Amino acid sequence: MDFSLHEEHEHLRSMVREFAEKKIKPVAQKLDEEEAFSYDLTKQMGELGLFGVYLPEQYGGAGMDYLSYIIAVEEIARVDGSQAATLAAHNSLGIGPIYNYGTEEQKMKYLPKLCTGEALWSFGLTEPEAGSDSRASKTTAKAEGDNWSINGSKIFITNGSVDINLGATVQTVTQETSDNKEFTTIIVEKGTEGFTQQRMHGKMMWRASDTAHLFFDNCRVPKENILGEPGQGSKIMLQTLDAGRLSIAAMGLGCAQGAYELALSYAQERKQFGKSISQFQAISFKLADMSMKIELARTFLYKACWLKDTHQPFTKEAAIAKLYCSEIAKEVADAAVQVHGGNGLMKEYNVERFYRDQRLLQIGEGTSEILRMVIAKQIGI
């Protein structure tokens, strides 16, 4: 078995890390404090080729593999969860369904614009009463001649309300009987009459990313806006989440790596009783455990990506990677704050932001509880 990365992976990591350190890190705290979405950083990520990194060049992508994309998310999350969230949601949940299920006409219409960083796309699944139970969706789409009339709402939608958002892929109920719902995914473009977006404020984490309510009030779209086939909505959404979970795992891994590096640096500089606190066994063992968890998480996440890139089943592995990486992000961020002591609770120290940003990772794209159910089902329970 060869665990070494290809030269292109190492080059990408180096490039993204340099960008994150030089461009994102200096402004991350300010953007977080102001709840400000950065159009400039988003455009720069597009110019680096990070949007559509795994798409063929014919659609405006970089023609790389999925592991390359995961490494990019990891490196951005190592510095800032908000920018990583923008990158991950747009690639996995925005671009992914259009590329995997769209017609050639739909791909050519949307994907080139979505790979530049000058436009974003969103993914409308979660509703006020439909989170883990996605089949409880109440947003409806009814056929009216050559159009669909959509009514309902979505909530907690990343990239859903910024000015450069072009629209959303939305799960709708298209046929319902007393014992069955039929779900269909439909493309809704921004500016469509009856479609409105509203940014959500007051978040604890990812404060510089865009999170939105989407509202549909007799929103009429042409029937050719169906993504995939009618009735395939649940399949499309679940398969999209499998791939998306790898990106959330990458965010957890990057968050853990960043928090660990902050703790290591602080422990080497902070002195108590005449020596750096890193020399005390209680702290050195804590740092050793953090490093161990990160290495285990990275190894398994990259294995899951290898399965996807080689077209093998990866549902179970995606669930395991997302569950484990999000859980170790929590553990490592908590330990990193502990190493910082009282300073870890102050906003002037970056570790405080990492501690907040990790919390969504155990909820988004499948809670830790739901992921355990997925894994249990995959092992035959």
* CATH code, 164: 2.40.110.10
- Domain membership of residue 367 (yes or no) is yes
Whether the per-residue pLDDT at 58 is higher than 90: the answer is yes
Q: Which residues contact 76 (CB under 8 A, 6 or more apart)?
A: 16, 20, 24, 45, 50, 83, 84, 87, 254
Confidence at 348, pLDDT banded by 50, 70, 90: very high
**Confidence (pLDDT) at 133:** 86
Pair 267, 371 in one domain: yes
Whether the per-residue pLDDT at 179 is higher than 80: the answer is no
Q: Identify the CATH number of the domain in which residue 41 sits.
A: 1.10.540.10
**Confidence (pLDDT) at 177:** 64
Q: Which residues contact 36 (CB under 8 A, 6 or more apart)?
A: 30, 208
- Residue 135 identity: R
- Domain membership of residue 1 (yes or no) is no
Nearest to 320 by CA among 331, 310, 334, 305: 305
Residue 35 dihedral angles phi and psi, to the nearest 5°: 50, 45
What span, in angstroms and rounded, lies between the C-alpha atoms of 254 and 271?
A: 28
- Domain membership of residue 87 (yes or no) is yes
**Confidence (pLDDT) at 134:** 81
Look at strands 195-199 and 180-189 and give their pairing: unpaired
Whether the per-residue pLDDT at 2 is higher than 90: the answer is no
Tokens standing for residue 126: 């979660």
Q: What pLDDT, in 10s, does the model give residues 61-79?
A: 999 999 999 999 999 999 9
SS3 380: coil
Nearest to 98 by CA among 226, 258, 260: 226
Total number of domains constituting the chain:
3
The residues with which 137 forms a beta bridge, in sequence order, are none
Percent of the chain with pLDDT over 90: 93
What span, in angstroms and rounded, lies between the C-alpha atoms of 180 and 129?
A: 18
- Domain membership of residue 2 (yes or no) is no
- Domain membership of residue 47 (yes or no) is yes
The residues with which 175 forms a beta bridge, in sequence order, are 182
Pair 159, 76 in one domain: no
SS3 188: strand
Pair 291, 351 in one domain: yes
Nearest to 62 by CA among 106, 103, 117: 117
Last residue of a domain, one of 231, 251, 283: 231
- Domain membership of residue 107 (yes or no) is yes
> CB count, 10 Å around CB of 29?
17
Report CA-CA distances (Å) from 350 to 26, 39, 209, 221.
11, 22, 17, 45
Last residue of a domain, one of 120, 145, 170: 120
In whole numbers, what is the pLDDT of the chain averaged over residues? 96
Last residue of a domain, one of 120, 155, 178: 120
Confidence at 180, pLDDT banded by 50, 70, 90: confident
**Confidence (pLDDT) at 4:** 84
- Residue 321 identity: A
Q: Identify the CATH number of the domain in which residue 263 sits.
A: 1.20.140.10
- Residue 335 identity: A
Q: What pLDDT, in 10s, does the model give residues 273-309?
A: 999 999 999 999 999 999 999 999 999 999 999 999 9
Pair 258, 362 in one domain: yes
Average pLDDT over residues 99-127: 96
- Domain membership of residue 103 (yes or no) is yes
> Which range marks the domain in which residue 334 is found?
235-378
Percent of the chain with pLDDT over 70: 99
Whether the per-residue pLDDT at 21 is higher than 80: the answer is yes
| Residues carrying an active site annotation | 365
Whether the per-residue pLDDT at 220 is higher than 90: the answer is yes
Tokens standing for residue 289: 């455990």
Pair 291, 305 in one domain: yes
Whether the per-residue pLDDT at 265 is higher than 90: the answer is yes
Pair 219, 108 in one domain: no
Pair 179, 153 in one domain: yes
Strand ranges inside the chain, DSSP E:
120-124, 140-144, 147-158, 165-177, 180-189, 195-199, 211-222, 226-227, 271-272, 275-276
- Look up tokens 């029937």; give the residue: 223
Pair 107, 162 in one domain: no
